[in-house]
Structure 1
Amino acid sequence: FLIPYHWGTFNHVTSTAYDAINRLRSTLETYENHTSVRILEPGMTFELPPKSA
């Protein structure tokens, strides 16, 4: 899984706090493994599915 974190935490010199996550969201549909990406809002959790045999 790809779980981006610390997005929205601070402004960078050349971008806002949400530029990177907004770019990721806008390009996810073209990403081959987009179903493996989990964007969690602050305070959310993600439980890994059980490992299959």
Structure 2
Amino acid sequence: RNGSSYKALIAQEVRGINLKTEEVELDEWITRLSNCLADLAAKNAKARQALQGLIT
């Protein structure tokens, strides 16, 4: 949060080092977050169950 407004940032991190930070519109940030969560859930049953609990 920056003052009275918010910034939607996407960072690319490798081994704890931030290689790139990109400011995006909030709708793009939400879409990209949703896609990452869906990928995680597809790869990991335990993560899928945890995410399922959040949306039900």
Above 0.5 in TM-score? no
TM-score of the pair, normalised by structure 2: 0.35
TM-score of the pair, normalised by structure 1: 0.36
Q: Rg: which structure is higher?
A: 2
Structure 1 or 2: larger strand share?
2
Structure 1 or 2: larger helix share?
2
Question: Larger relative contact order (C-alpha < 8 A, sep ≥ 6)?
Answer: 1
